[in-house]
Structure 1
């Protein structure tokens, strides 16, 4: 049951860095330096790039493409950092190159494009759509809707959420959420899920701000997602598979039934849900289990795991991202046995360099914002 002592109700956001002994000056520098290293400075770790006078994109440096995941993440980061110029550049690029107006996916965004804007695929990925929607609502509330149609942020958010749950009702197309169980799908055509897509704290806000007729759906989706994570995460390790069926069992049909890159985000999501809404006391138990599983492991030896904890030889592709998300889970277990250890490990871990830096550093910046009390509801 949601308790009314989360940040949504109190307006107070915990600054775990400060609670664990870091100074205001150190924390402010951590936020500023991370943002600038990834978005502003022309250094080797940059993941945001500008095009012309009014466009910008987030580059997946490991796959050399632009993804809705990254674009929506970048917009969320920009609104949290109060950088309207970067937000608008990302949104213009998204609407210009990723938005689909025809066919069964009309109203969604193509999940992958080349940096030049050519669509690599004509299917959407729901984790992008849900982040786009909330980033747009936050932009509307923080800066106001613009007169130019493309910057009527709140209208785009409402229209997108309407499409996500009603697409296909009158013919061609598929919704992104299953209309019966209210669970988000991995992609619209497939009837299974990705536990890391489940953002009940987003859906609580959609239930306030979406089209009025859609609000009950989002309230139900928030409750459904919290319950789904209980059956998708392993009862002893807390680890979630990348893909899972609606009954929570791992979907390993294509090798994605293990704890690997997508799965890392579950820890971050339950941390933020607990911070914003105190979504479920179970989230504290889950955070303790995940952090406990990694307590005796070094980031250099993080691996792919079965959700029962059995390791594979294959190393983690994104160890810095895993450090970041495990630290963000501390928001759900501030006084837990491993909370401080995870935050201190994260504090002492630099942003990632090299070709694989994009995903790690997106998760890194989200963790910096959340653990400093700067991942806020606007």
Structure 2
């Protein structure tokens, strides 16, 4: 009745006719959920989980655009066991022979299944390199009739961490906004490998041609929902490592309230000198910018575009920004080393 009352001018009565004869389905989004990718092999009777990848960006960013880590960096042993169990049950119930990929979301301790793909996923080459098993070849042989038990696959405790990062073509498409969302925008991927997550993340950024700064000025401007203790802690760590922090007025008040020293800089609409001027003048070495809503996205698009053109690393999600800050601090310490993939798997 309330919905009908909102459309009194519906002359042809389409809305009233539709609502009157059909049930309505109301969906809600999982805000702040962790997305997880799981790849497995099955011969129809047995299942081997090849890899569980924890996305760094929250659920809602396309899985092809989100960075992820293998092994997962924050999931509990109980959650990992449940992921393996649910994946195996689905593979057997669906009669999968070969590879299967499942995308889960974890929110408040509850696992949700986003989608199940009874096929090879784009994560297969990544997982194969990280665990040292030719899983695409094994899948093909399973599809030809061989049994999973004949390959003697066993869970390995990895002594290294791998971070998969997306590579974006934004520089080739003038006018494209760099904000990540449900539509896939990346055109490639790289891997960062190390024994430490922060160093592996830094390597993944360098591998995707991002200039990882060791010093300078960081600009922070985030929406209200992202003004969290975790962000304040990360930005404070960045300031303590020698970076100067500048922020728009609302974010500045939030950071100062959390004992982070920073200075105010104007938004573009507030007049010059503003943040775009600072980026173009080479005064900003890192940009963290989250926004919400069509108008806010439009107002801040010039900031992200200027960062792209001036090759200033930018992050448009809070989990990505926090991981980047950890990586920058590790990079400052000179902790990067070069090793072959075989060394990590030995």
TM-score of the superposed pair, with normalisation by structure 1: 0.30
* Higher share of residues assigned helix: 1
Greater RCO (Cα-Cα under 8 Å, separation 6 or more): 1
* Higher share of residues assigned strand: 2
